Structure 1
Amino acid sequence: MQKLSIIKIGGNIIEDETSLNAFLKLFANLEGKKILIHGGGKRATHIASKLGVKSKMINGRRITDAATLEVITMVYAGLVNKNIVAKLQSLDVDALGLTGADVNSIKSDKRPVKEIDFGFVGDVKKVAHNSIDKLIKADFTPVFCALTHDGNGQLLNTNADTIASAIAVGMSKIYETSIYYCFELNGVLQDFKNKESVIKNINSETYQALLKDGIITDGMIPKLDNCFDALNNGVQKVLIGNLSMFTNENEFFTTITL
């Protein structure tokens, strides 16, 4: 079975031109089949503010009303995605920028209203792995932004970590898949104030202990939930860390296992 690398980059890398260029060079040199997933929340918040659209967040998650959806569609699928695609082309990577609506690749259901109405936010239901594979087999490198669709003409804002996990699970039917969650930190930290305090290995048992002790909190919880969901559904390997995951310069990254 061929190997496929699924790499998701965080907002701070996207925001910093030097970090983005460094990452894309590493991504271009990464051997084998690969897919890139990105968000762009910080850029969307900045541009929304310029346009007079107020960004509303609850528990670190964006409330996506109609005006916000317009902004994030422009920013994610337009500005950020095409900037990344253009840079990859300059590095001889034949990148193809996509939303989940393109080739019907990722369908979602609009998140039901419970305690909070998140608006036009999607929960992934289906990944068209065969359609994505046609692009890969044609030697294109898919670059997905954090937008999916409901199959009825509605775009939906969707968590990029979840998209990475869902694509990896879907593609694991064809490939031996690995996920790399790449952001500005060295990995999952024991002490957030100490950037060197990387927890090198987390399994499902130690994860529960870290949750109980309050070491893993906030946005890291859904990220790790996505990791374990992927591993439970056919994904071979999941790593969380910074650019050094691709350079073998150090071991400052976290490996997630069952």
Structure 2
Amino acid sequence: MREVLKIFKIGGGIIDDAAQLNQFLAALAQVPGRKVLVHGGGKGASQMLQDLGIAPQMVQGRRITDAATLDVVTMFYAGKTNKQVVAGLQARGVNALGLSGADGNVIRATKRPVREIDYGFVGDLDEHSINADLLQQLLDAGLMPVFCAITHDGQGQLLNTNADTIASSLARALASFYEVELHFCFEKDGVLADINDETSIIPQITPGQYQELKTSGVIAAGMVPKLDNAFAALDAGVERVVIENALKINEPVKTILCRS
């Protein structure tokens, strides 16, 4: 039986709240076995841009990253945020190692081509982007990689890459070495059957059930892209995907997506 690897992704809601971030890191430190953390940037980067007189630009929740914005988000994501998370884990006895994609050439991205929208210095990933061998070495050495949302193109250019995409790509690449669980952690306790009822958690969803829930409109539109990516990860060899509350990762309440 292969060893389990748990990959956790947290978003800006947790990053923006110091108390909640500390609560999450304390819970994460209690999770046994090998694990990886991927974090987004939160609203702090937008605030820093505004403080510097740079207007943040967002299209459908994705950041337009021109050269000035890239400088700021690199400082905020790969610097301040990443190192605060790593320091918080070290304080709790977890030997964490903060990484951008450029470190060790661990995640190499391709600059997104200009189509209807020019996203600027935004990186896309493919099946060759992840240096899974290096990650296995780091995990074997007892380290916990902590990734920010900054990658590189191998030619000296840093790129801003969606944190959900990074987490999914890591899970797929490492599925050949481990039994991978991909955990998307946010403010809800799981996928809700009734958006107005916080207790209506759907405990398990198979691909067939997912199609029924989408067709019937039970799953809210905002959750569909995340779940589409989650089931794509399952198709690519990830063992299971967990949708859960970032503050309750060691509690049984959650939604588990599985192949069958």
Aligned to 1:201: 204
Higher mean C-alpha displacement, 159-168 vs 195-204: 195-204
CA offset at residue 217 of structure 1?
Answer: 4.7
Task: Say if 1:59 and 1:218, in contact at 8 Å, map to a contact too.
Answer: no
Letter in 2 for 1:54: A
Please, which of 142, 164, 168 is the counterpart of residue 167 of structure 2? 164
Q: How does 1:119-158 map to 2 (within 5 A)?
A: 119-125=120-126, 126-158=129-161
| Cα distance in 2 for residues equivalent to 1:124 and 1:228 | 17
Letter in 1 for 2:204: N
Aligned to 2:66: 65
Q: CA RMSD in A?
A: 1.7
CA offset at residue 139 of structure 1?
Answer: 1.2
Say if 1:190 and 1:50 are closer, same or farther in 2 by CA, change over 3 A.
farther
Aligned to 1:47: 48
Asked if 1:211 corresponds to 2:214, the answer is yes
Say if 1:21 and 1:74 are closer, same or farther in 2 by CA, change over 3 A.
same
| Cα distance in 2 for residues equivalent to 1:72 and 1:243 | 23
CA offset at residue 81 of structure 1?
Answer: 0.3
Partner secondary structure for residue 106 of structure 1: coil
Aligned to 1:96: 97
| Cα distance in 2 for residues equivalent to 1:42 and 1:207 | 31
Higher mean C-alpha displacement, 107-116 vs 192-201: 192-201
The number of equivalent residue pairs is: 256
Name structure 1 gaps, 5 residues minimum. none
Name structure 2 gaps, 5 residues minimum. none
Say if 1:190 and 1:45 are closer, same or farther in 2 by CA, change over 3 A.
farther
CA offset at residue 213 of structure 1?
Answer: 4.2
Say if 1:218 and 1:67 are closer, same or farther in 2 by CA, change over 3 A.
farther
Letter in 1 for 2:134: S
Say if 1:221 and 1:65 are closer, same or farther in 2 by CA, change over 3 A.
farther
Task: Say if 1:121 and 1:158, in contact at 8 Å, map to a contact too.
Answer: yes
Say if 1:7 and 1:154 are closer, same or farther in 2 by CA, change over 3 A.
same
TM-score normalized with structure 1 length: 0.93
Q: Percent identity?
A: 50
TM-score normalized with structure 2 length: 0.92
Asked if 1:238 corresponds to 2:224, the answer is no
Aligned to 1:78: 79
Task: Say if 1:60 and 1:218, in contact at 8 Å, map to a contact too.
Answer: no
Task: Say if 1:106 and 1:127, in contact at 8 Å, map to a contact too.
Answer: yes
CA offset at residue 218 of structure 1?
Answer: 5.1
| Cα distance in 2 for residues equivalent to 1:220 and 1:62 | 19
